Chain A
Amino acid sequence: MTAVLEAPAGTEAPQAKRPRRRPAPLRVLAPVAVFVLVIAAWAASSHLLVPEASRFLLPPPEAVVAEGLLDPVARTEILTALWNTVQVALCGLAIAIVLGVLVAVVMSQARWAEFSLYPYAVVLQTIPILAVVPLFGFWFGYEFGSRVIVCVMVSLFPVVTNTLFGLKSVAPAEHDLFTLHGATRLQRLWKLQLPAALPAMISGFKISGGQAIIGSIVADFFFRQGVPGIGRMIDVYRQRLATEELLTALLLSSLVGLCLFWAFDLLAGRVDRLHGKR
């Protein structure tokens, strides 16, 4: 036994420490290897499959880096637009998280609330966002607030469903424990249901993060007015056949989504350790 703690007389030793998470090399090297392979395949396709004359349709990676990232004008243009998009997305995500958790809490407290609200949460998910974006433009204008509303709309559902699932996943015996000790509704929510729901909530936030960024881009793409974000730039580059810039914008947008996902993953790791799961 590797346990360093002394067990009280007559009990078995505490469980040995669980093995640490996978060693970092594999966690980092494996995705890097895939990245290298994809870039190689891209470069090979561009150089070998596409004729020189139409290479602008699929420029090789080095051209994308040179014209999209290293060119100061294009880089500033893309990063400025991306920053606008990210601000909208983060703001929308924050509101979606607060609102979604509140809605889920209300649903968890009363069946009638769940029954009456849940179908509309589903509607949020199924409504074609492309059709809604122009309407929001008519109603709320084309500036920051209107874009944030689009983001909230597309990122709310995962927060609501995951939080509700988490709140309801509390073991019956744990509810009995709180009943036995005369817990109030608020105590039950605050000291039992919300902490128990935390891992599921964060899973929801992970999905919502990506949705919020897509929402921000889509709103910008269709509004064609107001402060331009990366969606508008994507449209501009498309019309200009500036494929290098287009790909740069696309890749950087994905990178932002990925960073957001990682941030929540880090948070999830901390919560899991707190819950003794890792």
Chain B
Amino acid sequence: MSIDPALAFRGTSLTFANGTRALHDVDLEVRPGEFVSLVGPSGCGKSTMLRLAAGFETATDGSVEVGAGRLGYVFQEATLLPWRTVARNVELPAELAGVPKAERREAARDAIERVGLAAFAKHRPSQLSGGMRMRASIARALTMRPELFLFDEPFGALDEITRQHLNAEVGNLFARDGFAGVFVTHSVPESVFMSTRVVVLRGQPGEVAADLPVPFPFPRDPELRYTAEFAALASEVSAALRGAEQEVPA
């Protein structure tokens, strides 16, 4: 029995109006229950792939098929509206969809609890730390009950400790909800820790350079980072990444 992919790039290319070639002939399938990290040098089109999946951009060649109905998207910045409290930010998607007030409040409360921000629901974003803002942003995406969850390098601006905590928590969400995840990152350890598969892209324009399975079971213990197996896989990803970078003219 074959499961329809949650997200599929088929011969996808994207050339911007100004002539910049962002992606070239990319083939990639993400199935339900997979968590795929995209790593690659800056400007290789990782984020562009997410933007295509979310419909912010349209492929100029090939296709992007989104099999999953409900989409969650976590942006690079927390992207919270500063004049709204955490709770009102988290209920925004449902508000835009016209969900009745009581129902969306309830859903927002649940999501905020799941990311451990219950005590801060009434706070404004400016009163929160960077890590807490990102939690609120994840809670907002969770209210969509996503089947396909896209993360556009969400933890890049956070300190290492906060980042590791959030890595583990997103891992737990994945283990519990079983969505299909696509996670863009610059960090090799993060990509290995989070994923069931690491896809290395080379650019520019972006192409798939390597596709490596990550066999560790979920839920994953943060200590996994310090095992020999983890180190071996991380060095394999690093090698693929170096290979991808060398092909880009400086």
Partners in one complex: yes
Contact A174 B79 (CB under 8 A): yes
A12, A191, A192, most chain B CB atoms within 10 A: A12
Name the residue on A nearest B134 (C-beta).
A11
Contact A5 B120 (CB under 8 A): yes
Please give, as numbers and ranges, the residues of chain A lying within 8 Å of B77 by CB-CB distance.
171, 173
For B, the interface residue count at a CB cutoff of 8 angstroms equals 36
Contact A15 B159 (CB under 8 A): no
- The answer to whether A26 has its CB under 8 Å from any CB of chain B is no
Contact A274 B83 (CB under 8 A): yes
- The answer to whether B239 has its CB under 8 Å from any CB of chain A is no
For A, the interface residue count at a CB cutoff of 8 angstroms equals 31
- The answer to whether B102 has its CB under 8 Å from any CB of chain A is no
Contact A180 B135 (CB under 8 A): no
Name the residue on B nearest A12 (C-beta).
B129
B92 touches which of A8, A176, A181 (Cβ 8 Å): A181
- The answer to whether A135 has its CB under 8 Å from any CB of chain B is no
A179 touches which of B56, B126, B131 (Cβ 8 Å): B56
- The answer to whether A128 has its CB under 8 Å from any CB of chain B is no
Contact B96 A195 (CB under 8 A): no
Contact B132 A14 (CB under 8 A): yes
Contact A12 B131 (CB under 8 A): yes
- The answer to whether A27 has its CB under 8 Å from any CB of chain B is no
Contact A192 B126 (CB under 8 A): no
Task: Given A5-B119, A8-B119, A14-B123, answer yes or no on A176-B82 (Cβ-Cβ < 8 Å).
Answer: no
The B68-125 residues at the A interface (CB cut-off 8 A) are 71, 73, 75-77, 79, 81-83, 92-93, 95-97, 116-117, 119-120, 123-125
B81 touches which of A5, A6, A10, A174 (Cβ 8 Å): A174
- The answer to whether B55 has its CB under 8 Å from any CB of chain A is yes
B54, B79, B135, B161, most chain A CB atoms within 10 A: B79
Name the residue on B nearest A176 (C-beta).
B56
Please give, as numbers and ranges, the residues of chain B lying within 8 Å of A6 by CB-CB distance.
119
Q: Is the interface of A mostly helix, strand, loop or mixed?
A: loop
Contact B82 A276 (CB under 8 A): yes
Contact A12 B119 (CB under 8 A): no
Contact A13 B96 (CB under 8 A): no
Contact B81 A192 (CB under 8 A): yes
A14 to B133, CA, bound (A): 10
Please give, as numbers and ranges, the residues of chain A lying within 8 Å of B162 by CB-CB distance.
10-12
A88 to B96, CA, bound (A): 41
Least Cβ–Cβ distance between A18 and chain B, in angstroms: 9
Q: Mark B180-223, 1 if CB is under 8 A from A, else 0.
A: 00000000000000000000000000000000000000000000
Name the residue on A nearest B93 (C-beta).
A181
Name the residue on A nearest B51 (C-beta).
A176
- The answer to whether B42 has its CB under 8 Å from any CB of chain A is no
Q: Mark B37-48, 1 if CB is under 8 A from A, else 0.
A: 000000000000
Task: Given A12-B159, A12-B162, A182-B96, answer yes or no on A276-B127 (Cβ-Cβ < 8 Å).
Answer: yes
- The answer to whether B242 has its CB under 8 Å from any CB of chain A is no
A275 to B196, CA, bound (A): 40
A173 touches which of B75, B96, B159 (Cβ 8 Å): B75
Contact B79 A173 (CB under 8 A): yes
Task: Given A9-B116, A14-B123, answer yes or no on A171-B96 (Cβ-Cβ < 8 Å).
Answer: no
Least Cβ–Cβ distance between B104 and chain A, in angstroms: 12
A7, A180, A196, A276, most chain B CB atoms within 10 A: A180
A14 touches which of B83, B97, B127 (Cβ 8 Å): B127
Between A and B, 12 residue pairs with Cβ closer than 8 Å are A5-B119, A8-B132, A11-B116, A11-B135, A12-B161, A14-B129, A14-B132, A176-B73, A177-B75, A177-B92, A191-B81, A275-B82
Beyond A6-B119, A176-B56, list 20 extra A-B contacts (CB 8 Å). Answer: A5-B120, A8-B132, A10-B165, A11-B131, A12-B129, A12-B159, A14-B120, A14-B127, A15-B129, A173-B77, A176-B54, A176-B73, A180-B56, A180-B73, A180-B93, A181-B92, A181-B96, A183-B96, A276-B125, A276-B127
Interface set of A (CB-CB < 8 Å, partner B): 5-15, 171, 173-174, 176-183, 187, 191-192, 195-196, 274-277
Q: Which 5 A-B pairs have the closest CB atoms?
A: A276-B126, A8-B116, A10-B165, A181-B96, A181-B93
